[in-house]
């Protein structure tokens, strides 16, 4: 676990002591748990209702999400929505969030285009108190980790997508399924391998749906 520093004290002091979803969403914009807030337009917290049975955790907001303040509204979010529909999941059953709540990026050398930068482990650790509070409040039947960053945030360890994807596992925070991030599938659009990658994502989400229907 990364050690706290003055630049990255961690989000813990900003997370409400007795969290509820409205309290978390109200408190998050004030978070200074790491330096990423400085260059982001705003915090991007979550979408969905408390008590949603399925929590989907991504990496971080992208450019569109940072501008609009809502997760998964960009191109990768559109692909995820298609996969969710193909898997037969009800959108009202989903709670959407990210491991890191601010957009990490740099400006292209020529022009003003903002280029996505993958968050480091220190950013995942600094932001993790928000995710832990969300899981506590929503109490989903299943958490789906979209990509390795989300997997690390949820499980507290490195994950290997190829070796661990597509099966439900018991973890300290509850039942978890790991799959790929839709952005990695999106990068294949128009290339060999896209259909296979999209089908594999749908298959993993179908497993998630079956878990929701499993008798308790």
Report the CATH number at residue 137.
3.40.470.10
**Enclosing domain of residue 150:** 20-213
Residue 57: inside a domain, yes or no?
Answer: yes
* Alpha-carbon distances of 75 from 3, 81, 186, rounded to whole Å: 35, 10, 8
Residue 156: inside a domain, yes or no?
Answer: yes
Check pLDDT > 60 for residue 140.
Answer: yes
Residue 174: inside a domain, yes or no?
Answer: yes
Check pLDDT > 80 for residue 155.
Answer: yes
CB-CB neighbours of 39 under 10 Å: 14
Q: How far apart are CA 189 and CA 177, in angstroms?
A: 24
Q: Which residues are within 8 A (CB) of 140 and not within 5 positions of it... i.e. 6 or more apart?
A: 52, 53, 54, 55, 95, 174
Residue 122: inside a domain, yes or no?
Answer: yes
Residue 7: inside a domain, yes or no?
Answer: no
- At 14-43, the pLDDT tens digits run 999 999 999 999 999 999 999 999 999 999
Residue 13: inside a domain, yes or no?
Answer: no
- At 170-207, the pLDDT tens digits run 999 999 999 999 999 999 999 999 999 999 999 999 99
Backbone phi and psi for residue 63, each to the nearest 5 degrees, phi listed first: -60, -50
Q: How far apart are CA 193 and CA 199, in angstroms?
A: 10
What's the pTM value of the predicted model, to 2 decimals?
A: 0.95
Q: How far apart are CA 139 and CA 30, in angstroms?
A: 24
Task: Count up the domains in the chain and report the number.
Answer: 1
Name the residue with tokens 């998630």.
208
Residue 120: inside a domain, yes or no?
Answer: yes
Residue 88: inside a domain, yes or no?
Answer: yes
């Amino acid at each position: 676990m990364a050690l706290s520093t003055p630049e990255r004290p961690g989000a813990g002091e900003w997370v409400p002591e007795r969290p509820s979803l409205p309290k978390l969403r109200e408190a998050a914009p004030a978070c200074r748990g790491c330096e990423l807030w400085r260059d982001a337009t705003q915090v991007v917290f979550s979408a969905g209702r408390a008590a949603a049975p399925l929590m989907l955790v991504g990496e971080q907001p992208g450019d569109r999400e940072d501008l609009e303040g809502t997760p998964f509204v960009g191109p990768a979010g559109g692909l995820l929505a298609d996969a969710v529909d193909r898997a037969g999941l009800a959108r009202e059953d989903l709670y959407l969030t990210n491991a890191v709540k601010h957009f990490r990026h740099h400006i292209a050398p020529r022009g003003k285009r903002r280029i996505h930068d993958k968050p480091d482990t220190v950013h995942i650790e600094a932001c993790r108190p928000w995710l832990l509070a969300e899981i506590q409040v929503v109490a989903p039947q299943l958490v789906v980790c979209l990509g390795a960053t989300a997997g690390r945030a949820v499980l507290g360890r490195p994950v290997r997508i190829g070796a661990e994807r597509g099966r439900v596992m018991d973890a300290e925070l509850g039942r978890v399924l790991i799959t790929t991030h839709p952005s990695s599938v999106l990068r294949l659009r128009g290339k060999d391998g896209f259909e296979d990658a999209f089908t594999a994502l749908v298959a993993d989400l179908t497993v998630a749906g079956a878990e929701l229907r499993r008798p308790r």
